[in-house]
Amino acid sequence: MKRVLVAIGVLAVFGARPASAQSADDCVPSALNIPEAKYPCLYADHRALFRVVAPDAQKVRLRMGPGFDMTKGPDGIWSVTTTPLVAGFHYYSLQIDGAVIADPSTHTYFGSGWQNSAIEVPAPDARFYEHQDVPHGRVSQQWYYSKVTAKWRRAFVYTPPDYDAAKKSYPVVYLLHGWGEDETGWYRQGHVDDILDNLIAAKKATPMIVVMDNLNAVKPGESAALFAARGLVPPPSDTPPAPPSRGAPPAPGGRGAGPGAAGRGPGGPLGRPTYTEMMFTDLVPMIERTYRVRPGKDNRAMAGLSMGGAQTFATTLVNLDKFAYIAGFSGNCGGFGRGNDAPDMKTICGGAFAEPSTFNSKVKLLFLGIGQAEGPGTKNFSEALQKAGVHNVYFESPETAHEWLTWRRAFNEFAPRLFK
Amino acid sequence: MKRVLVAIGVLAVFGARPASAQSADDCVPSALNIPEAKYPCLYADHRALFRVVAPDAQKVRLRMGPGFDMTKGPDGIWSVTTTPLVAGFHYYSLQIDGAVIADPSTHTYFGSGWQNSAIEVPAPDARFYEHQDVPHGRVSQQWYYSKVTAKWRRAFVYTPPDYDAAKKSYPVVYLLHGWGEDETGWYRQGHVDDILDNLIAAKKATPMIVVMDNLNAVKPGESAALFAARGLVPPPSDTPPAPPSRGAPPAPGGRGAGPGAAGRGPGGPLGRPTYTEMMFTDLVPMIERTYRVRPGKDNRAMAGLSMGGAQTFATTLVNLDKFAYIAGFSGNCGGFGRGNDAPDMKTICGGAFAEPSTFNSKVKLLFLGIGQAEGPGTKNFSEALQKAGVHNVYFESPETAHEWLTWRRAFNEFAPRLFK
């Protein structure tokens, strides 16, 4: 497969924005706010105004990127207006006299292992992930019992608009979230249903089923340890705990907030074997039993973001007889972007790329997506693969960091290349 | 229809509980906590231990029923152990130096107009709403465009376990949440999918479709005003705002926390005509076009809790040609339980009960559910209807207040009586 550098026509839209003073009336509530909540809101230049009622607090801080101290008004309400924010979906939290909490004015989104608040800064290319007047598929909650983990698990499954009427079978994408997120991430933060509805309506993508699972899978007795980096409240003890370190959100205005091209968290660069075992023992058979699924590797893709990208590589590279389409969005294998940009192409990623012609004959698409602000690791990986003869597609999301707009765009570029 | 007082065998289980000291090791994390969060946790006697990190705060309070002041430990963590809590799902919030916020240790649930934290106190009869090893139906997100409100709306739709395989048609229940809640309430807080899966597996209920819609429907220009009682952050001004008044949760150990038998909030005892118009113009046609629905009033039920109960009466009583099954759970019409316990049965509820034999011939089931701690309004209503000759079924949930365990139990008693 020929390597293609995908350019999307939005760079010109990000330009110098007017920094003139604007009245609070010009501040538009974020789309993620609870009903009737005016704050946080966004000015046309993407500065955001945050407000929170905390009449007796001594110190209130907005935890977003480098952080912003809020100031108290005469009404006991704390406010801050940020510098212009990069477009996209940003997790954030507030710190009130040392307590790290979600802003009560927004809906909450599971990320960094807890229910964060979030703000949505409209992207210039937002239409591709917006709910439009096209036929809509359906996202369904799908419970299944896992013999491997000895627990009930929940996935969400997207079925395309014609699923009920057409009575035909469909190819399937298995799609994983990132560290500290869960099976709700791709349809809530990611808008995967709207992206596919829009692509299918425009005849740019083949109708497909998308399975959004939870990558946290441990056997009885195995340590989960997936949320170790987050500040859970410890049990009573005489030992002072470490300060809370809830997920640091993106740098406002900013670059370089992402942790680079590789998946974060434990599990190592090749992810967790338990997830792979669970997937083939429990998840895939349940999906193929429950939905009208077209069989065989040419009708099966796997993709994931960040830690879910690392898991995707771990699962697929040792199962190339089962997947013809593979994607990592801000997450892959081999250590690129983590201080290891010139590894031995014969041995990295479990030796999957040691024989490029074999790999190319088995894999119809290897897709690597990244945010422009995440650093050159993924681009270097793509180029090293290309140089070694391994076909791949590289996609870079303009301006964005290790965030959901990167992954929405990456999926929007990945999906049209599937099952053709 | 004969009036039946449904007794469920749980009263004996609520008894004197040992008040002896217990170690923190005996405290079991609430089922609603985020992964790995140990707090809040529950002792066997249903006292709950809450903990929150707020090292620099001056005053931290648990907002649940009468409220509990928390105390600061040497590690900067605030704690409190409550008195024994009534079984069920309880919304709660924390107040940290005046800021009313969700506890970062729990998943959040939309209630009182924002994303609350919540704790689940296991009920003695919990098995009926637990996820068991039975065939499972599916809850799907269903978008639809409303011509009446000129907006996209979202419902959740439960389809029974045999929906895909059986290729037959099903009767439908339209089911509404309460004030300050939304279309996610019945499957997240209410476990309606598990309740029906369990009833269907036990052959106690006919397989049916359940449509969980959002009762907030306003035309362009119409005021929503549904969340007026909640403490939204006001815009900048010189006027000090009223103190926040986020949803007061249940009285711990306690009784009488509920606002009585009637639906709260604006819209009056007969609900909002816009919802009814939207339902018949947009929702019902979309459901009957999209799912395999058995036609006619004998295959259509409507039910709701609290304000959704009031809306159910408002919608159905003037459309008795469209619904053969009607239920209000802690919400009805006529003003019972709100200082009006002896109204004129000929004129209340829009005169729907003026001719009992006509009503009885049209309605196969009128079901009135309530929590024991909510006061006698609904029981008085049921008895007054019975005395006037209007057949109805009365159900009282032992010990519970204006809360989700009341409504889970009420639905569990209602569903087996449908479509027979």
Which pLDDT tens digit goes with each residue over A382-392?
A: 999 999 999 99
A interface test, pick of B63, B79, B115 with most A CB neighbours within 10 Å: B115
Separation in Å, CA of A109 to nearest CA in chain B: 9
Which pLDDT tens digit goes with each residue over B24-56?
A: 679 999 999 999 899 999 999 999 999 999 999
Helix crossing, B404-414 with B192-201: angle to 10°?
A: 30
Which pLDDT tens digit goes with each residue over A305-337?
A: 999 999 999 999 999 999 999 999 999 897 776
Q: β-strand B108-111 against B71-72: which pairing, if any?
A: unpaired
Q: How confident is the model at residue A343 (pLDDT cuts 50, 70, 90)?
A: confident
pLDDT for B345: 87
Q: Is B18 touching A (CB cutoff 8 A)?
A: no
The tokens of B225 are what?
């005003």
Cα-based angle B122, B158, B179 (whole degrees, multiple of 5):
65
Taking Cα atoms as reference points, which of A149, A284, A144 lies closest to residue A216?
A: A149
Window B:153-182, CB contacts with A under 8 Å: 164
Q: Is B58 touching A (CB cutoff 8 A)?
A: yes
Residue A58: which of B56, B145, B240 has the nearest Cβ? B56
Q: How confident is the model at residue A240 (pLDDT cuts 50, 70, 90)?
A: very low
Q: Is A113 touching B (CB cutoff 8 A)?
A: yes
Cα-based angle B196, B199, B204 (whole degrees, multiple of 5):
135
Q: Contacts of residue A233 in chain B, CB cutoff 8 Å?
A: 37-39, 51-53, 77, 105
Q: β-strand B68-69 against B60-63: which pairing, if any?
A: antiparallel
Which pLDDT tens digit goes with each residue over B170-186?
A: 999 999 999 999 999 99
Is residue B19's pLDDT more than 90? no
Residue A131: which of B115, B133, B152 has the nearest Cβ? B152
The tokens of A140 are what?
């369904």
Q: How confident is the model at residue B108 (pLDDT cuts 50, 70, 90)?
A: very high
Which pLDDT tens digit goes with each residue over A42-70?
A: 999 999 999 999 999 999 999 999 999 99
Is residue A75's pLDDT more than 70? yes
Pairwise CB contact (< 8 Å): B102 & A105: no
pLDDT for A50: 98
pLDDT for B229: 44
Pairwise CB contact (< 8 Å): B224 & A35: yes
Q: How confident is the model at residue A251 (pLDDT cuts 50, 70, 90)?
A: very low
Taking Cα atoms as reference points, which of B273, B271, B372 lies closest to residue B11?
A: B372
pLDDT above 90 as % of chain A? 77
Q: Please, what is the average pLDDT of chain B?
A: 87
**Is residue A191 left, alpha or beta, with left meaning phi > 0 and alpha meaning psi from -120 to 50?**
left
Beta bridge partners of B95: B61, B100
pLDDT for A264: 38
Q: β-strand A172-176 against A300-305: which pairing, if any?
A: parallel
Which pLDDT tens digit goes with each residue over B49-95?
A: 999 999 999 999 999 999 999 999 999 999 999 999 999 999 999 99
Is residue A152's pLDDT more than 50? yes
Separation in Å, CA of A116 to nearest CA in chain B: 8
The tokens of A350 are what?
């479990």
Q: State the average pLDDT over residues B278-307.
A: 97
Separation in Å, CA of A229 to nearest CA in chain B: 12
Prediction pTM value? 0.89
**Has the ipTM of the complex gone over 0.95?**
no
